[in-house]
Chain A
Amino acid sequence: MDIIFFRVALVVYLLSALGYLGSLYIRRVLVARVSTWVLSSAFAFHTLFFAFRFIKTGQNPVISFHETISFFAWAMTGIYLAFQLKTKTRVLGAFVSPVTFLLMIAASKDLGGYVSIPVALQSNLVPVHVILSVTGEALFALATCAGAMYLIQEGLLKNKKVSSFSKVLPSLTDLDRINHMCLMLGFSLLTLGILVGSIWARSVWGSLWQWDPKQTWTLAAWFAYAVLLHQRLAMGWKGHKAALFTLLAFAALLISLVLVSLFFVTAHRFI
């Protein structure tokens, strides 16, 4: 049952991504509006997937690499949809929905193989750690989308290429605001996630921090975000610089998320 929900969600995500991109291409808001509803229903199916998975196994549904990716996609979509309610930034969906779809493709590998969770991971803190960290990272991903869109829109305005594409993108101020909000919230969640993780690590490995490659890279990314937030809040960084730095910090985060998991020997691996 849960697998069916996943597959339906995957297909519906694809439909919404096509709808959003189509709306950019033909520049009609109505199509984007419909796409938002399609995306919402994909999100609902995806939620059902997690719920059924949890009911079926009674264990943390976010534990394997693929599950984590799928949860990442879910969180990103959920946050975007929440934003959509409050701001007029429908076009952000054209960035979010294709990413979500690709993540879902990646997550669909090894779908349905239930893993038996090792004793070390059978703690209530593990799902809390994973959910906080992944949601934080999803917020960073959205901040990055907003940052990238900011740079595009800024480039168009600076170079006086006020084409119809520029008209589709949200205003600079709105994009900067989204970037800011996502950073603040994402940073808080990731910080909490790391704290919870280290508390749990102490109960398993005896120390709060292991200098494991993944931990090190995540810490580096965390520092990058800390610097960015400091510059934003204390130095009044806005607009161009903040957007550019968001992209750089996210690159560091991606390294910790993907590359380290694939190429380094780490204690902090996924099952």
Chain B
Amino acid sequence: MNIILIGMNHKTAPLEIRERLSLSCGDDINHLAEIMNIPEIKEGLYLATCNRVEVLANAADSESAVERLRAFIFHHGNLSAEEMNKCLYLHYDHEAVRHLFRVTSSIDSMVMGEPQILGQIKDAFRTAVEHNATGVILNKILHHAFRVAKRVRSETGIANNAVSVSFAAVELAKKIFGVLEGRNVLLIGAGEMSELAAKHLISRRVGKMFIANRTYARAVKMAEDFHGTAIEFDMLPEKLRDVDIVITSTGAPGYVLTPPMIEAAIRRRKNRLLFLIDIAVPRDIDPAVGEIDNVYLYNIDDLQDIVDSNLKSRKKEAEKAETIIDEEVTKYLEWYSALEVVPTIISLREKMDGIIRGEIAKSSTWMENLTEDEKRNIEIMANSIINKVLHDPIVGLKEESKDNSALPYVAAIRRLFALDDK
């Protein structure tokens, strides 16, 4: 096996080094072409995302291929050799396969379980296939990796539960309202996190969006961004009747929403549920509001607690995922070891011997009249026919195996003689 995986990720390399290496994300093709120009490399895949740069290769001679890959990275990274070697990791064979499976399953991601990485690897693979950079080995590994990712996703809870504050808020809203379609949202004050939450809500097709700000002009500006309606700050108590979700993030020193305001609003909305998200520090909503019936109040710490516990549960799920990956690596190795020349020759012979035995057994009735010598001669003849037939293919396989290029032939023979069907 001569599979090499070389690269760096968010754990091993600081951002500025990854940046330099991933260069401009657009020209993956040139990188791939450059990798494929390395004579030892038979198959290659180049993956660059914000958090990682990796090269997966199947090489004729791993030592010199690794040296050339290092040179490639060194050249593009524009770094000192020492710096470079500190950031790089290098895996061979089954460790390389395991690493790829972990990356594809999003266990190795910065935010464990995030779904983008699978798509990014699929894109990288598509590029490689389109440029004829992959063959029997990489195709199999990548397809296997996609299957593993799917298994991990469906058999573990690694992708469950929000791991960002704004997503946690959206999930809570879903626990309260079910579908969010048509629910009206009120945004009080501006802020990165509240705007992010608002964007998530919009993507769930919420109803109207209202925006209030101490500075009315700012509210108007934001309303344009969100296709919402700006409202005057002193209209807030009034508006609370018509909205279901309120996100506050003002810089106000005191409480913007108080229990009497909310109680009045709840009465006027005939007890319809109200979800208040207070992202501001200091808080915008009096915590006593949370005691009111049918009002659900979450502040930034509450949301952060949810995110923390979700992250913890993802870590636990990751352990299950590791077990799955172990199993799958073993399965891959089984497939791979079957691709060796010798086992293939043995199973080819076994298959042929089986056929001879079967045919002789079938003919046993009419062979009864023959003498033992005659019977033995027939067997010898059958065996030598098979030997003659197999001679050239076996010699050919052995010759190809000398320079590690037998794999496609082995794969073809296993397929054509159905050696993997048991």
Contacts and interface: CB of A to CB of B under 8 A. Distances in A.
User: Does A pair with B?
Assistant: yes
Interface of A: 27, 153, 157-158, 160, 162, 164, 166-167, 170-174, 236-241
Contact of B294 (A162, A170, A240): A240
B176 A172 contact: yes
B175 A236 contact: no
B178 A173 contact: yes
Given A171-B177, A173-B273, 9 more contacts: A157-B172, A157-B296, A158-B296, A164-B161, A167-B161, A171-B178, A236-B270, A238-B270, A239-B294
Interface string B164-199: 000000011011111000000000000000000000
Given A157-B296, A236-B270, A236-B271, A162 B175 contact: yes
A236 B293 CA distance: 13
B270 A172 contact: no
Contacts of B313: 164
Contacts of A160: 298, 302, 305-306
B94 interface: no
Contacts of B178: 170-171, 173-174
A241 B270 CA distance: 12
Contacts of B296: 157-158
Most buried by B among A27, A162, A170, A171: A162
B311 to A, nearest CB: 14
A65 to B, nearest CB: 39
A237 B294 CA distance: 10
Contacts of B160: 167
| Size band of the interface chain B makes with A | 20 to 34
Contacts of B290: 158
A173 B271 contact: no
Contact of B271 (A164, A166, A174, A238): A238
Contacts of B270: 236, 238
A238 B274 CA distance: 12
B177 A239 contact: no
B91 interface: no
B272 interface: yes
Contacts of B171: 162
Nearest to B305: A160
Interface in B290-309: 290, 293-294, 296, 298, 302, 305-306
B184 to A, nearest CB: 14
A173 B313 CA distance: 27
Contacts of B306: 160, 162
Most buried by B among A166, A167, A174, A241: A167
Pairs A-B, 9 closest by C-beta atoms: A236-B270, A171-B178, A238-B271, A239-B294, A174-B178, A173-B178, A240-B293, A173-B177, A160-B302
